[in-house]
Amino acid sequence: MGSLHIIWITLLLYAISTIYLFLYCEDEDTEIVAQKKVIGLYAGSMLLIIVGMSIYLCIMYPENSLLFNMKRTGLTALLTTAAFIDYKSYKIPNKLILIGMLLRISILGMELLTDGTEIKWTLISEIVAAVGLFSAAMLCRVCIKNSIGFGDIKLFLIMGLFLGVNSTMNAMFLTLVISFVIAVIVLICRKKGRKDMIPFAPAILLGTVISIYLTGM
């Protein structure tokens, strides 16, 4: 029954994220608007990955609570939209960050009702992760020109609030490895120069998804 619940919740969260993606693309006066088939193919592919993730978590990590898994699949749904928009337009909308915050607050309300004894340590871990990621990203932006955008920094804040310290470290390690590989490839192929910005949200998405599948987070 728990697996059935997380699948329906995952579908709902992913539907919200995907609807926002289509609405955003409709409002934008960019080339994205003319790529509805590409968006549909991308959304469909990621749906299979995220639903598969929810089932995988229930089977391989039965000790995880429903809300624990919900935070993982919800964050991944959010990152799916952020990655596509960042890849196409080099920005992450504030409304998407707001959706992430509202989702986290909603889950927090459910955690307070069901996990009252454990929520204190969960919150401490998530706040530490969020503050740590935010501070490190801001320092990186100040010290290295064009290293990271404000949208990515806000996305890191959301990421920390959903994952906590240990899970964030796993996801960020893989994210940095993937972003390095992407940077090397685009430089070799001369798609970008050394001073050009490379969208970071796709690497965050890949790093988070792989980390969830490898560790259950």
Taking the C-alpha atoms of residue 168 and residue 176, their distance in angstroms, rounded to an integer, is: 12
Rounded to an integer, the average pLDDT of 46-59 is 84
The residues near 57 (Cβ < 8 Å, ≥ 6 apart) are 6, 64, 69, 72, 73, 212, 216
Per-residue pLDDT band for 173 (boundaries 50, 70, 90) equals very high
pLDDT of residue 30: 52
Out of 21-30, 49-58, 73-82, least confident range:
21-30
50 vs 162, higher pLDDT: 162
Whether residue 28 has pLDDT greater than 70 = no
pLDDT tens digits along 83-138: 888 888 888 888 889 988 998 888 888 888 876 667 888 888 889 999 998 888 88
Taking the C-alpha atoms of residue 86 and residue 126, their distance in angstroms, rounded to an integer, is: 25
63 vs 172, higher pLDDT: 172
Rounded to an integer, the average pLDDT of 56-84 is 86
- Do residues 130 and 153 make contact, with C-beta atoms less than 8 angstroms apart? no
Out of 14-28, 46-60, 128-142, 145-159, least confident range:
14-28
Out of 43-47, 155-159, 210-214, least confident range:
43-47
Residue keyed to tokens 């889950």: 107
Residue keyed to tokens 């992430």: 100
Of all residues in the chain, what percent carry a pLDDT higher than 90? 10
Based on its alpha-carbon atoms, the radius of gyration of the chain, rounded to whole angstroms, reads 17
Rounded to an integer, the average pLDDT of 27-31 is 55
- Do residues 3 and 55 make contact, with C-beta atoms less than 8 angstroms apart? yes
Amino acid at 188: I
Q: How many CA atoms lie within 13 A of 64 on its CB side?
A: 23
Taking the C-alpha atoms of residue 77 and residue 205, their distance in angstroms, rounded to an integer, is: 9
Taking the C-alpha atoms of residue 151 and residue 12, their distance in angstroms, rounded to an integer, is: 25
Whole-structure pTM value: 0.85
11 vs 99, higher pLDDT: 99
pLDDT of residue 117: 67
Taking the C-alpha atoms of residue 172 and residue 128, their distance in angstroms, rounded to an integer, is: 14
pLDDT of residue 128: 92
Per-residue pLDDT band for 35 (boundaries 50, 70, 90) equals low
Taking the C-alpha atoms of residue 44 and residue 193, their distance in angstroms, rounded to an integer, is: 32
